[in-house]
Amino acid sequence: MKILKHPIFYFSVLLASTVYIANRLEVPLPNWVFFYINDFLCMPIVLSTCLAVLRIIKKTEMLYAPISVVLVLTIYFSMYFECVMPHINTRYTSDIIDVGLYSLGALLFFKFQKKLF
């Protein structure tokens, strides 16, 4: 449960929520904030939440996400949001930079999960 109480997790969720709300309220911010911040924060938030849920279910704080799980979830999110969703909903656009940001966020999560959580 200490993942969900960690200041970096709180900050990431708060920042992602703030960007989303600012976008919905049409607050003028640079385009890169709207287009890229949440893509970078997506995988650390998702992976941290998944790891916290697994730790709760297994009743141990000693579980960590292996590289295979991090890769599979990152590929899934990349394919879903960059390949599938643009064909279903015009709100989504395919952008290779987003894939890089998902990957960078996942890499940072994997590298620091044992030190932070």
Name the region of 93 (left: φ>0; alpha: ψ -120 to 50; beta: rest). beta
> What is the four-CA torsion angle of 26, 32, 34, 35, rounded to 10 degrees?
130
Question: Is residue 4 pLDDT above 90, yes or no?
Answer: no
Using the structure block, give the residue that is written with the tokens 């709100």.
91
pTM for the model stands at: 0.91
Confidence of residue 117 (pLDDT cuts 50, 70, 90): confident
Confidence of residue 71 (pLDDT cuts 50, 70, 90): very high
Rounded Cα distance, 89 and 105, in Å: 25
Q: Where are the alpha helices (DSSP H) in the chain?
A: 7-24, 31-32, 38-58, 67-79, 85-88, 96-116
Mean pLDDT of the chain: 94
Using the structure block, give the residue that is written with the tokens 């890169």.
32
